[in-house]
């Protein structure tokens, strides 16, 4: 039943470009990118319980890495994607080694500070990022073929999303995923069971950065331009809100949250000055009334209703 | 006589100016149940945390099966066969009983990439099924740990420790808060583990009924210092022990007391 549902959803997604306009496909590309960003947050916060607030920075590193790999070296896009993930993952590993000495709110603050510092780097390293003028991203290419339109990018973006969802499922079901959850639930018990807590946290942190880097490369495939303004703390908060709305700790929640909340944020673009306030409100309301996310909340209440 | 499984030599633990454990030594023989008792704040749990490597002793040495483990990290204990339970439950609350126990088996799941991807290796699952069976948790395997009642949560701590396949089991107040019936079951289980499976147990416990029933040897701590050691009978009649538990007056009524 569940597999049928997933196949139906996949079929609908594959068929999407045949009966919609370019704008809808652009939004779909964006939502899929946010889905992968959300999955990264799910791994580090939802699974391993480490409050990282640097997702936008790793996302930016991914965008610039793949953008430059294409612009300056003309790399075929699969290679740029891999490079984006690996560079972001390695930077994540380095930052994790320092930041993971701290925990809870201190870890959140340290990663927040790193995110802000990276945005400053994006803004001021003009020779590489174009600084405040932004960076034009050349169309992604592979053996002479170029991805120019959103519709052309869509199959690649969709395939990557499916791949990353699959990877998340594999990790989550593996012993590594179990070690992540053990560390989240009790560090001292995990230690007593022989789980190397620091290494495990570091793995979660680096993996989450890798996911954000791949998301960055996905963005670079369907976008022609990136400006540091969109790589600040708001983006991290947007992704965090998606993950919370969907439900931290579940893969379906991360995906659902990204789609539902991505649509809300796209609708709110008409009223940019209220956007931040509305995000904040949604985040607070969910943390208070549905801490396990929209889908768990709806599920529980449906069950209660049907029993009554 | 073979070398003791666990040998604690002259361990001292200082927290700032406070000496929590003072020049403490202990030998735990293989295949025995050794109890560590004493009034609250005597330094039992501190000693325990030194052995399981959660605290670093200020001086002294801890040896396990001939190996000096005083400088090893806490996460290296499971692979050596040292398992512990916690005084205040430290379960993975949001995970199921089975997942809790699977994490206990973490060090037995192998090191290759394939092993890491395989969540439930068949060999490990066979052992875990045995653990579930003997602790009576089999029918709770898919329940979340936080939804169990207190008695079963205590059992789960023990089951998770058994999944490590320990040679030395360190139990920090396993009977605290249990009902009489549950204590009797614990008594039976521990006795069987030691007599039948050759496990060695070091137990910190306040429930004297259990201590007196299962222990081969008892060590008594007070104010971080060892004040008595012997069989349960010897320790029970020891004047210094009576004084530590009941005060000087009660001890003075004992004719042997100097």
Minimal Cβ distance to A194: which of B86, B99, B107: B107
Please say whether the beta carbons of B211 and B218 come within 8 A: yes
Total domain count, chain A: 1
Crossing angle of helices B97-104 and B150-163, rounded to 10°: 30
- Measured between beta carbons, which residues in chain B are less than 8 angstroms from residue A181? 92, 94-95, 99
Please say whether the beta carbons of A122 and A228 come within 8 A: yes
Question: What's the pLDDT at B240?
Answer: 86
Question: Does some domain include residue A122?
Answer: yes
Q: Is B141 exposed, middle or buried (0-12, 13-18, 19+ CB in 10 A)?
A: middle
User: In the structure encoding, which two tokens stand for residue A230, read together?
Assistant: 């969109």
Question: Does some domain include residue A101?
Answer: yes
Question: Does some domain include residue A46?
Answer: yes
- Measured between beta carbons, which residues in chain A are less than 8 angstroms from residue B76? 194
CA separation for the pair B82, B87 (Å, rounded) = 16
Please say whether the beta carbons of A192 and B107 come within 8 A: no
By a Cβ cutoff of 8 Å, what residues of chain B touch chain A?
52, 54, 73-79, 83-84, 86, 90-95, 99, 102-104, 106-107, 109, 115-119, 160, 164
Each as own residue / partner, the long-range contacts of residues A265-270 (CB below 8 Å, 24 or more positions apart, any chain) are A265/A238, A266/A27, A266/A30
Please say whether the beta carbons of B84 and B152 come within 8 A: no
Locate tokens 């999944």: which residue? B163
- Measured between beta carbons, which residues in chain B are less than 8 angstroms from residue A293? none
The closest alpha carbon to B158, from B127, B188, B131, B130, belongs to B131
CA B211 to the chain's CA centroid: 12
Question: Does some domain include residue A244?
Answer: no
CA separation for the pair A204, A202 (Å, rounded) = 5
Please say whether the beta carbons of A247 and A296 come within 8 A: yes
- Measured between beta carbons, which residues in chain A are less than 8 angstroms from residue B164? 193-194
Please say whether the beta carbons of B109 and B120 come within 8 A: no
Question: What's the pLDDT at B250?
Answer: 64
Question: What's the pLDDT at B249?
Answer: 67
> In chain A, which residues have pLDDT < 50?
none
Chain A interface, best mutation among B48, B49, B53, B103, by max A CB count within 10 A? B103
Contacts of B125 (CB under 8 A, 6+ apart): none
Residue B83: closest C-alpha in chain A: A192
Question: Does some domain include residue A52?
Answer: yes
Alpha-carbon distance B76 to nearest alpha carbon in chain A (angstroms): 6
> In chain B, which residues have pLDDT < 50?
257-258
Q: Which pLDDT tens digit goes with each residue over B178-207?
A: 999 999 999 999 999 999 999 999 999 999
Q: Count CB atoms within 10 A of the CB of residue B179.
A: 11
Question: Model-level pTM greater than 0.90?
Answer: no
Q: Which residues share a beta bridge with B14?
A: B19
CA separation for the pair B73, A194 (Å, rounded) = 10
Question: Does some domain include residue A215?
Answer: yes
- Measured between beta carbons, which residues in chain A are less than 8 angstroms from residue B54? 188, 191
DSSP state of B75: G
Question: What's the pLDDT at B151?
Answer: 92
CA separation for the pair B212, B173 (Å, rounded) = 14
Q: Count CB atoms within 10 A of the CB of residue A295.
A: 19
CA separation for the pair A135, A67 (Å, rounded) = 8
CA separation for the pair B54, B85 (Å, rounded) = 12
ipTM: 0.88
Beta strands in A11-151, from DSSP E residues, in sequence order: 135-136, 140-142, 145-147
Question: Does some domain include residue A41?
Answer: yes
For A73-107, the DSSP string reads: H---HHHHHHHHHHHHHHHHHHHHHHHTTS-HHHH
Locate tokens 């939502």: which residue? A31
Segments forming the whole domain that contains residue A219 = 23-230
SS (H, E, C) A220-232: HHHCCEECHHHHC
By a Cβ cutoff of 8 Å, what residues of chain A touch chain B?
170, 173-179, 181-182, 185-186, 188-197, 249
């Amino acid at each position: 039943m569940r597999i049928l549902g997933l196949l139906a959803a996949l079929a609908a997604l594959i068929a999407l470009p045949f009966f919609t306009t370019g704008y809808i496909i652009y939004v779909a590309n964006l939502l899929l990118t946010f889905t992968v960003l959300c999955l990264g947050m799910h791994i580090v916060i939802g699974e391993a319980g480490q409050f990282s607030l640097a997702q936008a920075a790793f996302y930016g590193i991914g965008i610039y890495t793949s953008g430059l790999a294409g612009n300056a070296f003309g790399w075929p896009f699969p290679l740029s994607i891999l490079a984006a993930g690996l560079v972001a993952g390695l930077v994540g590993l380095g930052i994790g080694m320092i930041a993971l000495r701290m925990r809870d709110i201190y870890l959140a603050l340290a990663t927040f500070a790193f995110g802000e510092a990276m945005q400053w780097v994006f803004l001021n390293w003009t020779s590489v990022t174009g600084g405040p003028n932004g960076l034009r991203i050349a169309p992604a290419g592979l053996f002479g073929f170029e991805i120019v339109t959103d519709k052309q990018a869509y199959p690649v973006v969709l395939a990557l999303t499916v791949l990353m969802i699959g990877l998340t499922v594999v990790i989550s079901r593996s012993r590594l995923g179990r070690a992540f959850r053990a560390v989240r639930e009790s560090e001292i018990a995990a230690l007593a069971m022989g789980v190397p807590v620091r290494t495990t946290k570091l793995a979660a942190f680096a993996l989450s950065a890798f996911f954000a880097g791949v998301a960055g490369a996905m963005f670079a495939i369907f976008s022609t331009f990136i400006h540091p303004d969109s790589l600040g703390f708001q983006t991290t908060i947007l992704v965090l809100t998606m993950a919370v709305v969907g439900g931290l700790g579940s893969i379906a929640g991360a995906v659902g949250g990204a789609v539902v909340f991505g649509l809300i944020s796209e609708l709110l673009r008409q009223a940019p000055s209220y956007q931040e306030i509305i995000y904040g409100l949604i985040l607070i309301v969910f943390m208070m009334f549905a801490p396990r996310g929209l889908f768990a909340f709806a599920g529980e209440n449906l069950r209660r209703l049907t029993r009554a | 006589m073979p070398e003791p499984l666990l040998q604690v030599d002259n361990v001292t633990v200082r927290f700032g100016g406070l000496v929590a454990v003072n020049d403490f030594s202990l030998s735990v023989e293989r295949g025995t149940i050794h109890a560590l008792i004493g009034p609250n704040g005597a330094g039992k749990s501190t000693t325990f945390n030194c052995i399981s490597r959660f605290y670093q002793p200020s001086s002294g040495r801890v040896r396990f099966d001939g190996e000096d483990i005083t400088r090893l990290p806490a996460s290296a204990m499971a692979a050596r066969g040292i398992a512990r339970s916690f005084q205040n439950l430290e379960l993975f609350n949001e995970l199921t009983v089975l997942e809790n126990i699977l994490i206990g088996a973490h060090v037995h799941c192998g090191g290759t990439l394939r092993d890491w991807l395989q969540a439930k290796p068949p060999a490990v699952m066979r052992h875990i099924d045995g653990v579930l069976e003997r602790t009576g948790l089999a029918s709770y395997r898919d329940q979340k740990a936080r939804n169990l009642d207190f008695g079963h949560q205590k059992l789960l701590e023990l089951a998770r420790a058994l999944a490590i396949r320990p040679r030395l089991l360190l139990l920090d107040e396993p009977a605290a808060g249990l009902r009489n019936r549950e204590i009797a079951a614990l008594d039976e289980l521990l006795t069987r583990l030691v007599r039948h499976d050759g496990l060695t147990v070091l137990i910190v416990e306040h429930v004297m009924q259990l201590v007196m029933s299962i222990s081969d040897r008892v060590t008594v701590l007070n104010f971080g210092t060892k004040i008595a050691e012997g069989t349960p009978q010897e320790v029970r009649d020891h004047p210094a022990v009576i004084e530590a538990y009941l005060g000087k007056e009660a001890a003075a009524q004992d004719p042997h007391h100097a």
